[in-house]
Structure 1
Amino acid sequence: MKKVAIVGAGALGSVYAGLMADAGHEVHAVTLWSDHVEAMRRAGLRVSGFSGDRTVAVHASTGTDGIGVCDLVVIATKAYDVEAAAKATLPLLGPETVVQTIQNGLGSAERVAPVVGADRLAVGVVGGFGAALAAPGHVHHQGMEMVRFGAYAGLPAERLDASAEVWRSAGFTVALFTDLDRMVWEKLLVNVAFSATCALSGRTIGEVLTDAHLWPVASGCAAEAAAVAAARGIDLRVGDPVEHVRRIGSAIAGARPSLLLDHLAGRRSEIEVINGSIPREAAKVGAPAPVNATVTALVLAAEESFTG
């Protein structure tokens, strides 16, 4: 049994917490959503969907005070909250603690490493979950397609594998990577395809896939990202990038990406590090990215009306 803290127990973080607790680990779920904390304390955390349906006991809190040193700390917050979350993890870190940061888009690891130490940091990407909080204390997910990790800088291979074993013991299929650019960009292809298109249209992933107006936009976003990756010399191994996105999306057709869920709740999204990252990276290699630039601008314009 390992002691694990999930800092950022939103939809995906709650799936991690629930399945790890179900495997017998001591899990601390940290989220600022007090109703979620209260529900988990009162009745446990229910995880339903692809992995089955169970309710498990977790240690839920709105902060990290009193948790103590952990074997594994997973930072699963939104990208714009990673620095604050990383600082909150400092009381949880001992000499052997591994920190895994799992966010959408680009740039989070570079912000976490100076806080927690690059030599204890693993970068993670996950995909194909289609997770959403059905109610306080209840998370539902559509699948469990990928969980991938790689050492950021200096994390010994044996400690990376030991941290991955926590996930494996909870039923996750984990792949370890040495090429972090490849790992991150293969996931980014899927994110850029569906994040903005679903948010702007209010449609599920499956509805975007079958819509004659939306799919060209989604596939155009992915094709631009693949072209930028190629220009940067990143060795994507997904075959045809548009068919890769179609395959991943088809497996979770009923899912609503986190960016759509943010818009439905009137919350700021992670558009800047997802679709918004493609024009920035494209400019570095002299490549165009007009589709991603356009959908990013439309999402940001929509968010100007949000009060949260």
Structure 2
Amino acid sequence: MGSLFAGRLAHEDHDVSLIEVSGAMIEAIGEEGLRMIGRFGEQTYRLPVGPADRYTDAFELLIVFTKGMHTTSAMEAARHAIGPDTWALTVQNGIGNVEAIEAFVARDRIIMGMTNWPSTLIEPGLINIPGEGEIKIWAANGQTSENLEAISSALDEAGLNCKLDPGVEVAIWEKLAFNSALNSLAAVTGLTVGEMSDRQESRAIVFTIVDEVVTVARAKGLAVDVDHIRVSVEHAFTNHRQHKPSMLQDRLVGRRMEINTITGAVSKTGAALGIATPVTTTFANLLTIVDGEASRV
């Protein structure tokens, strides 16, 4: 996702640099450029790339695309590149990322949002954009500003279909419901999206988790649309049958899974509000056990 945003912004002549920790990615982009195929055709962008300590000057905007458990460490690594006028944008999955970023950037310079753009890493330095998406963003402090509007315009002009949405927290929680259901079940069972769809038992679990997340969101005063989420799930069941959700991909290669900002965050928020989330909490606990076992291997 970071490569998608970087490439499209560079396409519109914005000065873009990549902060990367993967040696393979740094080497590939350094030698061949950032390569993109798919929705926007075949493009190559020659961009600066390296770990955070490669850069010395403060950035105008940091776009954070790490998984939630890496947000704090990523911001800590880039602390020297954050100046008094630096803004930060997060359209990461889950919740809690704004609070993590706020330890480094004042809330009045943080933009939060969600995106459903698809982006697949084919090999180091090469990404495929298989379809269309959109971005919804708003200021974390709830206040509009010239910078917020400028950043939105830059993303929209880059072809990323960006909209300003004061109610973006609803969209964030709707995506959280989708991810909590599909990612959790996939990571525990090993099922692809299509395999979930084909079994009555797995469909029941998916929609139970969706309902529990919706209940928590509504207890927070958010007007989430359960029917909209169900339509998104059914679309995935029909059109992304072979897809392995990201938590399953992480488990299969022994990476840590994004639990605490997705399924675990729903369980924790529900408990704080006095809302029971028995199925979601059970999956959060199972994922935590599996994640801990994997870390010992």
- Cα 1:126–1:249, aligned 2, differ >3 Å: closer, same or farther? farther
What code does the residue aligned with 1:139 have? I
Native 8 Å contact 2:136 2:168 kept in 1: no
Partner of 2:223: 235
RMSD over aligned CA atoms reads: 2.3
Distance in 2 of aligned mates of 1:100 and 1:117 = 12
Q: CA deviation at 1:80?
A: 1.4
Distance in 1 of aligned mates of 2:95 and 2:178 = 13
Residue by residue, what CA displacement relative to the aligned partner does 1:196-245 show, whole Å, maximum 9, x if unpaired? 12222333334323333322222211111111112222112464532343
SS in 2 for 1:271: coil
* Structure 1 residue 245 corresponds to structure 2 residue 233: yes
Q: CA deviation at 1:93?
A: 3.5
Q: Which runs of 4+ in 1 moved over 6 A?
A: none
SS in 2 for 1:82: helix
Residue by residue, what CA displacement relative to the aligned partner does 1:78-124 show, whole Å, maximum 9, x if unpaired? 11121222233333344543210232211110121131111111112
What code does the residue aligned with 1:15 have? L
Partner of 2:125: 137
Partner of 2:99: 110
Partner of 1:83: 72
Native 8 Å contact 1:228 1:282 kept in 2: yes
* Structure 1 residue 153 corresponds to structure 2 residue 141: yes
Distance in 2 of aligned mates of 1:166 and 1:264 = 37
What code does the residue aligned with 1:304 have? G
Residue by residue, what CA displacement relative to the aligned partner does 1:146-179 show, whole Å, maximum 9, x if unpaired? 3121101276422111111221122101122223
Native 8 Å contact 2:87 2:105 kept in 1: no
SS in 2 for 1:106: coil
The total of aligned residue pairs comes to: 296
Partner of 1:22: 11
Partner of 2:114: 125
Distance in 2 of aligned mates of 1:271 and 1:65 = 30
Distance in 2 of aligned mates of 1:203 and 1:128 = 23
Unpaired segments ≥5 residues, structure 1:
1-11
Partner of 1:69: 58
Native 8 Å contact 2:113 2:168 kept in 1: no
Partner of 1:268: 256
Distance in 2 of aligned mates of 1:94 and 1:273 = 27
Structure 1 residues 211-226: aligned runs within 5 Å: 211-226=199-214
Native 8 Å contact 2:110 2:140 kept in 1: yes
Distance in 1 of aligned mates of 2:204 and 2:117 = 21
Native 8 Å contact 2:58 2:83 kept in 1: yes
Residue by residue, what CA displacement relative to the aligned partner does 1:5-26 show, whole Å, maximum 9, x if unpaired? xxxxxxx212222222233222
Native 8 Å contact 2:267 2:284 kept in 1: no
User: Relative to structure 2, which stretch is displaced further, 98-107 or 234-243?
Assistant: 234-243
- Superposition TM-score, scaled by structure 2 size: 0.89
Q: CA deviation at 1:280?
A: 1.6
* Structure 1 residue 45 corresponds to structure 2 residue 34: yes
Native 8 Å contact 1:98 1:160 kept in 2: no
Residue by residue, what CA displacement relative to the aligned partner does 1:18-51 show, whole Å, maximum 9, x if unpaired? 2222332222111110111100000011222344
Distance in 1 of aligned mates of 2:288 and 2:38 = 32
- Cα 1:161–1:301, aligned 2, differ >3 Å: closer, same or farther? same
Q: Percent identity?
A: 27
* Structure 1 residue 279 corresponds to structure 2 residue 264: no
Native 8 Å contact 1:73 1:89 kept in 2: no
Distance in 1 of aligned mates of 2:261 and 2:84 = 31
